[in-house]
């Protein structure tokens, strides 16, 4: 199994691989290349939400579909956007606004009672992006759920044999970025037929930096 120390070394190299000064804060991306997986027999459409142990400087944007008390709670808890029934009805005839909504927010939560309507109205836009809402049952701890999703990232398949996701930014030290990367790796391993044995290499890079690759089988 890949160790935190291995990952930390890769992050340090990636941090120092780009000496150009940028006028924005760069992110660290983790890319896992897979091996020994027959894509014809195994569905590798990985689209996982990972709750990072160390939050990023730019938190994920969360939109909540809710009615009544849940809508009030979501607004008080600071949801980035709250959509109630009337606005959801309007989106049915506003394709441009629906497409923009699907792009603008990383995560969506929704009252369970609204899920069928959301599927009809926004399914064509949220579904292909893997962003269908997480159902929120009545009396669920909505405030806690919002807090967790703000620290989450989405890790997705890239092509047939690689998985990628954001694990940090330059404001975090190497150890904290490594902790985030370990959380991602652990969750991806659970989705693979043979777990860690299906991971061939690990690459870490900054937004504008060079790829820093590690072949895990050689470690």
Domains and CATH numbers, the chain: 4-57+152-218 (3.30.190.20), 62-149 (3.40.50.790)
Strands 107-111 and 62-65 come out as parallel
Query: Model-level pTM?
Result: 0.85
Average pLDDT over residues 81-91: 95
216 pLDDT band, cuts 50/70/90, is: low
Strands 152-157 and 107-111 come out as unpaired
Average pLDDT over residues 39-47: 72
42 pLDDT band, cuts 50/70/90, is: low
Residues 6+ apart with CB under 8 A from 29: 164, 165, 166, 167, 204, 205, 206, 207
Task: Calculate the average pLDDT of the chain.
Answer: 89
Q: How far is CA 53 from the centre of its chain?
A: 13
Cα–Cα dist 68/132, whole Å:
21
**pLDDT at residue 27 is higher than 80:** yes
Lowest mean pLDDT among 53-57, 99-103, 138-142, 176-180: 138-142
Q: What is the pLDDT of residue 209?
A: 77
Lowest mean pLDDT among 62-71, 121-130, 134-143: 134-143
SS3 153: strand
Q: What is the pLDDT of residue 159?
A: 66
Cα–Cα dist 166/25, whole Å:
13
Q: What is the pLDDT of residue 40?
A: 66
Q: What is the pLDDT of residue 218?
A: 42
Residues 6+ apart with CB under 8 A from 182: 4, 7
Encode pLDDT of 172-205 as tens digits: 999 999 999 999 999 999 988 889 999 998 899 9
Q: Sign of dihedral through CA atoms 140, 141, 142, 147?
A: negative
Lowest mean pLDDT among 16-20, 92-96, 123-127: 16-20
Residues 6+ apart with CB under 8 A from 141: none
Average pLDDT over residues 77-101: 95
What region does 78 belong to: left with phi over 0, alpha with psi -120 to 50, or beta?
left
């Amino acid at each position: 199994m890949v160790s935190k120390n291995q990952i930390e070394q890769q992050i340090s190299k990636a941090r120092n691989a780009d000496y150009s000064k940028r006028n924005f804060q760069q992110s660290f991306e983790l890319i896992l290349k897979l091996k020994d997986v027959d894509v014809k027999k195994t569905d590798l459409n990985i689209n996982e939400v990972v709750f990072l142990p160390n939050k990023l400087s730019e938190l994920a944007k969360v939109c909540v579909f809710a009615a009544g008390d849940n809508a009030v709670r979501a607004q008080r808890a600071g949801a980035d956007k709250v959509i109630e029934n009337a606005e959801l009805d309007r989106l049915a005839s506003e394709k441009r606004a629906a497409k923009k909504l699907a792009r603008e927010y990383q995560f969506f939560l929704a009252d369970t009672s609204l899920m069928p309507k959301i599927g009809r109205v926004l399914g064509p836009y949220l579904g292909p992006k893997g962003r269908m809402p997480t159902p929120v049952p009545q009396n669920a701890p909505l405030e806690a759920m919002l807090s967790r999703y703000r620290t989450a990232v989405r890790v997705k398949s890239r092509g047939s044999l690689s998985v990628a996701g954001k694990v940090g930014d330059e404001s975090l030290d190497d150890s904290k970025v490594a902790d985030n990367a370990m959380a991602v790796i652990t969750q991806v391993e659970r989705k693979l037929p043979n777990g860690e044995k299906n991971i061939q290499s690990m690459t870490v890079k900054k937004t504008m930096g060079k790829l820093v690759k590690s072949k895990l089988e050689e470690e």
